Amino acid sequence: MTRTNSSAAVRSVSPVWLVLAGIASVQLGASVAKSLFDEVSPSTIVWLRLVTSALVLVAVARPVLRGKTRQDWLVVLGYGASLGCMNWAIYQSFQRIPLGLAVTIEFVGPLTLAVLGSRRLRDLAWVGLAGIGVLLLGFERTDLDLAGVAYAVLAGAAWAAYILLSAETGARWRGLDGLAVASIVATLLLSPVALGRYGDQLADLRIVLIGALVGLLSSVVPYTCELVALRSIKPSVFSVLMSLEPAAAALAGIVVLGELLAPVQWLAMACVVVASVGATRTGRSLAEPVPD
């Protein structure tokens, strides 16, 4: 099949299915990554993921660096820092608590941002519902590690910062340039840890190849699906679909890792998913589209 025919085939797929495929790919990548945590540090896998996505994005975007102002660089540096922190923190959380619970807690960050962007007082009810969901997790302490919860909260805060900086980066950098540069920044920030403290882990070719696979599954495939989907789908619909991330993470955890959740934990997750859908339909978008 030629490249033209392949592109046409991708465009012919429903944008909803593309978004769902991207979500499934992200969580499959996360579950594959977690399966390696008995052998390597989460920092190593995150670094390999970021290296892979940075290489692909730079090759595709070929970012133009000349002519940028000091403010342009400050924005993209912040964007890269939030990207790196978000990925590093959530993988640290994955190591300590089930996938579905980590993503559920992380999702409170962008959810809160969505509601804060709304002018309707009633939208605070969505934060309240999400809060109830998080509190419910406290009733089932078997799989909850406080450090894992804290890392998920940090990842959620970084995700919120990433969303805020995404629009500003898109306004200052054309196409995928900003995302490509931000990926390089995130990679460089994690390099001292990955290459220093855990550098010996990169000597195993199998780990490197699986880390590259995680990068493809968790970054390259979702970015591609979302870019194509956002050309023909409303951002509000896109955000509603993205609200399914916690459930997708839980299913990936069950299928790949055998992480079974208690009924109370499923109820907690349902609260956050419903709150995310509600906030998206009445407030601002939970997820900013990747700039064209």
Whole-number Å distance between alpha carbons of 292 and 288 = 12
Which residues are CB-neighbours of 180 under 8 A, at least 6 positions away? 54, 57, 58, 60, 61, 63
**Could you read off the pLDDT tens digit of each residue along the chain, which spans 292 residues?**
454 444 455 456 678 888 889 889 999 999 999 999 988 999 999 999 999 999 999 998 899 888 899 999 999 999 999 999 999 999 999 999 988 889 888 888 887 777 776 666 666 777 777 778 777 776 655 557 889 999 999 999 998 898 888 888 888 888 788 889 999 999 999 999 888 888 888 888 999 999 999 999 998 888 888 777 877 777 667 767 777 888 888 888 888 888 887 788 888 888 878 877 776 665 444 444 444 3
Whole-number Å distance between alpha carbons of 102 and 119 = 29
pLDDT at 183: 92
pLDDT at 7: 47
> Is 231 buried (19+), middle (13-18) or exposed (0-12) by CB count in 10 A?
exposed
pLDDT at 279: 66
pLDDT at 263: 82
What does pTM read for this prediction?
0.81
Whole-number Å distance between alpha carbons of 187 and 177 = 15
